[in-house]
Homo-oligomer: A and B are copies of this chain.
Amino acid sequence: MPQSQAPSPASFAGWLDDTNDITRAFLAAGQIPGLINIAGGLPDPQVYPVDRLSEIAAQSIAEFPNETLGYGTIEGLPDLRAAVAQRYSTETLHLTPENVLITTSGMQALDLIGKVLLNEGDTMAGQFPTYLGALDAWRPRRPQFRNMNLQTNDVDLIGAMTGAKFAYIVPNFSNPTGRLVPEQTRRDLIDAARQTGAWLVEDDPYGGLSYDGPIPPSALELSAEQESSAPGPYQGPVIYLGTLSKMVAPGLRVGWVIAVPEMIAALVTAKQGSDLCTSGLTQRMTCKIFDAGLIEAMNPVMLRLYGERRNALLAAMDRHLTDFFDWQFPEGGMFVWAAAKDERLNTDELFKIGLEELVCVTPSSVFDSQEEFRRGIRLNFTINDADRLEEAVVRLARATERLLARIG
């Protein structure tokens, strides 16, 4: 009988129509047998210190039962807020726990920033191409996006940020490009934030994955150089996002925001209505992970494994893809970003033919709110070994040939 049916999906909020089809296809692709997936951004499970984390989980509950099993304060465990403040403080950057909010993953931090800063129709500027998760997080707020291409010398930062609520950057090994934003550009971004009154959101999941040596200071740190040297909470325009996901394990879903106390307070109000508090268990585990030096112990293992795989992927690309694509060397992170030489090549189409050839790559459309750039692909090198990376690239070359033959 018809009245037993649920209400119509026509009752759904408008932003759900903005999600592109390729995202759905992308999410469903994982199920295909024999597929080599170089689309995701997954750590290799072999790097997880399973026994240590299993012990740490048990100890966290046994030693701190009320804290791990009960409700916690919205802003996070006091010990963890203090630990984050301490880890990031430098001679010029003075952080206190009031500068820190613990979040349920870096993704939640993006969601909370959207809630706190964006009224419907507000403008934001984003490093282009833009991390797809940030676009997902902000879509329900229906902002106007402006793209900033930080790889060129002539980007007009003041123009992009004037009237924008914030600018969003991933300066260390950006997702999807794997490139570093140079120190001078970071300084220019801070100056532009100060001149325009926009916030500067610095998302830094990959800063620890530098395969070729030291990287520039974070915008957070650079912005503090211009602060007064008085101790007390940081007061600058940067909203910095950190996470455990790429450095230890994404399954714990723990991240953090560092910002001025007024911003932290507003984010707390947003978090109160989002999930009330982050799991006390995973927060206490994070304290113990910091204390045990697990991040420092895991890092050389990850750098060796992922660095070799990056080189293996680039070598395979050199062998099979030079006719079809251009790319730049990524100094770190998890990805190589490539652009088709043929401007007519649409990587949404390549993605689909790729699935038929049993290889999954990420097409540029998911990083592009303006539909400006349709011939890019992102290739991941962290989850597959060298042989599988070689095979994935061979399959991708075959798919590209098929698509080019079709274009004519």
Mark A residues whose CB is within 8 Å of B. 1, 3-9, 11-16, 19, 27, 30, 40, 42-43, 45, 48, 50-51, 53-55, 57-62, 65-74, 104-105, 107-108, 110-111, 115-120, 122, 133, 136-141, 165, 193-195, 197-199, 223, 226-228, 235-237, 245, 249-253, 259-260, 262-263, 266, 269-270, 272-282
Contact = CB atoms under 8 A, between A and B. Distances in A.
Query: Chain copies in the assembly?
Result: 2
A236 to B, nearest CB: 6
15 contacts: A6-B262, A11-B197, A13-B118, A45-B69, A48-B70, A69-B251, A70-B250, A107-B276, A133-B273, A136-B272, A136-B273, A251-B280, A252-B281, A253-B275, A253-B276
A105 B275 contact: yes
A281 B284 CA distance: 13
A344 B329 CA distance: 72
B57 A51 contact: no
Name, among A67, A223, A237, A272, the residue most crowded by chain B CB atoms within 10 Å (CB to CB).
Answer: A272
A249 B45 contact: no
A119 B13 contact: yes
Contact of A9 (B51, B105, B138, B262): B262
Contacts of A137: 273-274
A274 B108 contact: yes
A4 B234 CA distance: 10
